[in-house]
Each structure stands twice: as structure tokens, then as C-alpha cells.
Amino acid sequence: MKMPSAFRAAAVALLAFAGAALPSASYADDGTVTLTIYKAGWFIGGSGGGGVLTFHGRSYPLSAGGLDYGLVFGGSKTVLRGRVHNIFRPSDVAGVYGAAGAGLAIGGGARAIVLSNQKGAVLELTGRQVGLMANADLSGLAITMK
């Protein structure tokens, strides 16, 4: 049974159109993040620093800063490393991350934190905090791409 060429062309065009109309499956990916955060305060505190996002084999510089309010006093340096989940492009890491926490660092101590932003990016970071810092506060961290 031979199919007429006009019918064959119409069938191919219909299949191509249907394939283009279906949404393509896109999946979020993971990357790695390293952040160095300097923090100081007396009841109201501030933090700032920077780091690097590594995503699909490329490195992207980051800036970080924020405010802490509650019981905050002292100063510290924290180096955090870990993964960022649920990102489609490097710019998905940029955003505002919020957390409530309490801690005490005298000399040095371990730190672990899980944060998410408004785009759905999830940071899972661990590291080391050095300095004298006591806090029971609400804090916000804004990460931007340089």
C-alpha cells in the first residue's frame, strides 16, 4: 500500500508540530558553592563576603551580605562549602536567604546550615567559624553574582 506524498508530508508536518508543542523536560541541576562570610555586631549585626559557584564546569564569582537582628555580639569569619540544589542556571543562586538560629563560637567551631531562596535554590553548607560570636537571631543573607 503506497501512501500519497502529500499525505506523507502532512503527517510528517503534523508530527513535527506536535513534538514542538509538547513541553521539553527540563530538570534542575546541582552545583558547588564556597562562601567566606565575615560577621560582626552588637545587637544588630552585619555580614559580608564572597565566594564561588561552580556549575557545569565553570566558576562564577559571588558576593554575599546581610543583616542580623536579635541577640548578636562579637565578630567571626566563617568559611562554608557545600552544594546548591534545584538550579537551572547560575543566576538561580542569586537571591535572599533567611534563617533563624543560635550559636556560640569562641576561638573556632563547626557550622552547618540549609537555606533556600525565592527561586527554589537550596544551599546545604558546612564549614568552620573562627572568632568570638554569640547569637540568637533572625538573619538574612543576600547572594548576588558579580
Read off the pLDDT of residues 85-127 as tens digits, 9 standing for 90 and up: 999 999 999 999 876 555 666 677 777 788 899 999 999 988 8
- Work out the average pLDDT over 5-31: 57
Question: For the sheet containing 122-145, what is the strand order?
Answer: 29-55, 58-87, 122-145, 95-116
Listed by start position, the domains of the chain span: 28-145
Q: Is the pLDDT of residue 45 over 70?
A: yes
Amino acid at 142: A
Read off the pLDDT of residues 58-85 as tens digits, 9 standing for 90 and up: 999 999 998 877 777 888 898 999 999 9
Q: Do the bridges between strand 58-87 and strand 95-116 make them parallel or antiparallel, or are there none, so unpaired?
A: unpaired
Closest alpha carbon to 96 in 143, 55, 134:
143
Q: Is the pTM of this model over 0.85?
A: no
CATH topology of domain 28-145: Lipocalin (2.40.128)
